A and B are shown apart, each in its own frame.
Chain A
Amino acid sequence: MSTRLRVNPLLCSAHGVCAELLPELISLDPWGYPILAPGPVPPELAPLARRAVTACPALALLLVKTD
């Protein structure tokens, strides 16, 4: 089982914290909203991804299970 990042675009308000904490997988568009790298989260980045999810002030960043 692997995980992948998702953003709830209704909740996201472009704080940009996620891109600060996880630049390996998240960049920002011209308006400050996150662009997620496609595909599963590499295992070595999983702890950093979990930290980014926890730190999102809008609770908009999610880690979802993929089969």
Chain B
Amino acid sequence: MAELADNAEAAGAVGPGENGRLSRVLPPARVPDLAAHQRRYGPGGLRGRALTDETERSGLTGRGGAAYPMARKIQAVRERAGLRGSVVIANGMESEPASAKDASLLALAPHLVLDGIALAAEAAGARSAYLCVRRPAQADALAAAVAERTGYDPVAVELALVPERYVASAESSLVRYLNGGPALPAFTPPRPFERGVRGRPTLVSNVETLANLALISRHGAGWFRSVGTASAPGTALVTVSGAVRRPGVHEVAFGTPVRDVLALAGDTGEPGGVQAVLAGGFFGSWLPGGTALDTPAAPDALRSAGASFGAGIFLVLPAWGCGLAETARVVRYLAGQSAGQCGPCLNGLPAIADALEQVAFGGPGGSGSRRGGSGRDGPKGRRGQDGALRWLRELCGLVDGRGACHLPDGVARLTASTLRVFADHLPAHAAGTCLAARSRPAFPVPSGPREPGRAR
């Protein structure tokens, strides 16, 4: 442990400091090459079994959204590795449109992620390792960093440029893609840690999690836990956007009040302040404005507040915006992102988007849904807002948990949270008097494919 403490001291650049901002995994400027990386972060420390044990003590959880304990993941793969070894996949896909933290990390500190991949591979008994990204420019930049490390790592990292799609970042999608299939979710079990790439037990981990692993190797669990909360130790990268002055990526200690996270992005410059925050992004839930903004930014605290931390996404809705209208646009996008593999998702998501559009834009007794092709599911008596709301709630129950991946669950959760947090706004929408619903969108929503494509 003495060695770890020395390293922590030596690495003065890593930790609180630098303009008073926290900077552990995310450096303030690009670390250009391997030599600069070694100067900034210092030499490697714990490896293998010792690193797994230290990671367990650190309480590091996955930063891709599910917050699963990293040490348990490594152990599960390690104990199945056998004579033929396991596989490590670094997930840098970041398919969530409102997230930019993985791209920022890979651009600024590629070698920290590559260190983490090498350490995870050794600890999990891996014979091969992949780094999955979705932008060609990212892959080019990372290829240069990987080339610098020839002979440096026990396992060579192979870059994989994966086709862009919302559900392509699911672990089972990456495994399926690396096995020569489409980058679409697979039916589980077997889960990737049981049977993944080429049938080998496969560790899939977010790139920010791996960067943290590289720091735990150097500085140990005590250092790691010196910021954050007891249940959510360490830092997290957050992407703050929507109605804020300076949208961007920041590193915060877990447990920082959401209000202070928004302040890092210059708060909202809009009159009336923050109406609500979509926490966790398109796969998240709404956190109302006001006192709820004092909620600590951590998975457990946000879950208790009815929202989620997810991959650290905070989308700010200004007072002039309409939460129902924003969600309707997001859900329409997500419906278009269905891989079309599972019936309840293929049929249910466009129907949810239709019903939500009717609630948000339809007006009194309106026949709101003109888009979407789910004509044959016409339930009786969905005229008017009451009918649309009943149908919407029924639909959410019908899709939840019925897909191969969690896309339908996410849409159901987001829709339910919208109806809960913006319940007061429903009468104005029923009367057709919500002017905000007709204002410009507050959130950028990509124009994805309208019609879900059949995958088979």
Query: Does A pair with B?
Result: yes
Q: Which residues of A contact B347 (CB under 8 A)?
A: 30-31, 33
A-binding residues in B (CB < 8 A): 186-187, 341-345, 347-348, 376-377, 379, 398, 402-404
Contacts between chains A and B (CB distance < 8 A), count:
42
Q: Which residue of A lies closest to B189 (CB)?
A: A64
Q: How far is the CA of A11 from the CA of B342 in the complex (A)?
A: 8
A 28-61 to B, binary, CB cutoff 8 A, 1 in contact else 0:
0111110100000000000000000000000000
Q: Which residues of A contact B186 (CB under 8 A)?
A: 10
Q: Given the known A-B contacts A31-B343, A32-B343, are A9 and B402 also in contact in the complex, defined by CB atoms under 8 Å? A: yes
Is residue A12 contacting chain B, with contact meaning CB distance below 8 A? yes
A 2-36 to B, binary, CB cutoff 8 A, 1 in contact else 0:
00000011111110000000000000011111010
Q: How far is the CA of A37 from the CA of B221 in the complex (A)?
A: 45
Whether B342 contacts A30 by the Cβ 8 Å rule is: no
Shortest CB–CB separation between residue B177 and chain A, in angstroms?
Answer: 15
Q: How far is the CA of A32 from the CA of B377 in the complex (A)?
A: 10
Whether A9 contacts B379 by the Cβ 8 Å rule is: no
Whether A33 contacts B187 by the Cβ 8 Å rule is: no
Whether A33 contacts B344 by the Cβ 8 Å rule is: yes
Whether A29 contacts B344 by the Cβ 8 Å rule is: yes
- Partner of B402 from the list A13, A30, A33 (CB cut-off 8 Å) is A33
Which size bracket describes the interface of A in this complex?
A: 10 to 19
- Partner of B341 from the list A10, A14, A29, A31 (CB cut-off 8 Å) is A10
Shortest CB–CB separation between residue A15 and chain B, in angstroms?
Answer: 11
Whether A31 contacts B377 by the Cβ 8 Å rule is: yes
Whether A30 contacts B343 by the Cβ 8 Å rule is: no
Q: Which residues of B contact A11 (CB under 8 A)?
A: 187
Shortest CB–CB separation between residue A3 and chain B, in angstroms?
Answer: 15
Q: A9-B341, A35-B402 are in contact. List 16 more A-B contacts (CB 8 A).
A: A8-B404, A9-B344, A9-B345, A9-B404, A10-B187, A10-B342, A13-B343, A29-B348, A30-B377, A30-B379, A31-B344, A31-B347, A31-B348, A31-B377, A32-B343, A33-B402
- Partner of A10 from the list B379, B398, B404 (CB cut-off 8 Å) is B404
Q: How far is the CA of A9 from the CA of B402 in the complex (A)?
A: 7
Q: Which residues of A contact B348 (CB under 8 A)?
A: 29, 31
Q: Which residues of A contact B398 (CB under 8 A)?
A: 29-30, 35
Q: Which residues of A contact B341 (CB under 8 A)?
A: 9-10
Q: Which residue of A lies closest to B379 (CB)?
A: A30
Shortest CB–CB separation between residue B155 and chain A, in angstroms?
Answer: 32
Q: Chain A CB within 10 Å — which of B186, B345, B347, B379 has the most?
A: B347
- Partner of A8 from the list B187, B345, B377 (CB cut-off 8 Å) is B187
Q: Which residue of B lies closest to A11 (CB)?
A: B187
Q: How far is the CA of A11 from the CA of B455 in the complex (A)?
A: 12
Q: How far is the CA of A11 from the CA of B379 in the complex (A)?
A: 26
